[in-house]
Amino acid sequence: MPSVSERVWSMPVRLMEVVALVGVGWMFVCQVYTVGQANHQPNPASVEWQQWLDRLLQYWQREANRTVKLYAQFEATRKFHNFGGVVKSYQGQGKFMRLPDGSYGFLIELQEKGQAERYERYLCTGTHFYMFRPEEKTIYFHTLPPRKPGEVPDQGPMSFLLGISADEAKKRYQMAITRQDEWYTYVEIRPNFPKDQVDFVYARLAVLNKPTSVIPQYYPRQIYWVEPQKVEVTWDILRLVQNEAATQVERRDFAAPQIPAGWQLKPIQQPQGQLAPPG
């Protein structure tokens, strides 16, 4: 299986970014699509759709700050092509919160299905990133580089939804609306530069055109991406709650962890010659 240095920056931090603010721009979808356009196959290169993407990116740029906290329940799979196509399945939850000092907290907990003793926990306190490895009784940590107040993470498949400018997003990513059916609108994303290609080589977002009882309209129902190490990751969102009083997210969720008895705390070792880990 992948080493710690290969695993540590894979799904959790980047996909919490995805879940955190991915829905804010999709209220704009209702201004563009109607049910009568189901199964429409847009031409990503057309002037019409480029203009739509421009407006959508500008909308995201304006609305990104609307989310203060978010809670999601999901099921996930990882397919390891470098290890004979092994597929692992998980169930879990994710939390996001804009902290009082302007930084961001993320918490992701994954339980491998059928393996009660096998779980993963990833925590970002705003200043540090922690990865719990129960099979090693070890918590690995990494000190995050300082950010300006309110500065959002700018790496990962959906970082352009977290507040970077529309112009910057268009420079860094190739984005296209590729398909729509009655229920979903599909957006594909490919990074242009090595800085982002170390995180993912391809991503696809399926957004609900209609509300369900557990996910609001224009929020993600599925998030899929491919990592450079030939790992395919899929998140199926089962429930998504944003900013409501009932959102199960509190400040204490992002406090530095207590070290369990018998566990140890270790810094994440960077590969020789590598200045910083991928995002």
pTM: 0.74
Q: What is the pLDDT of residues 198-229, one digit of tens each?
A: 888 999 988 887 889 998 777 788 989 999 98
| Cα 120 to chain centroid, rounded | 16
Q: What is the pLDDT of residues 80-96, one digit of tens each?
A: 988 788 999 999 999 98
Is the CATH code 2.50.20.10 the one for domain 4-267?
A: yes
Domain ranges within the chain, ordered by starting residue = 4-267
Instruction: Give DSSP secondary structure letters for 10-24.
Output: SHHHHHHHHHHHTTG
- Distance (Å, whole) CA 220 – CA 186: 10
Q: What is the pLDDT of residues 35-52, one digit of tens each?
A: 334 445 656 556 676 766
- Distance (Å, whole) CA 172 – CA 203: 14
- Distance (Å, whole) CA 38 – CA 217: 16
Q: What is the pLDDT of residues 109-151, one digit of tens each?
A: 999 998 878 899 999 998 999 999 999 999 999 998 876 655 5
| Cα 251 to chain centroid, rounded | 20
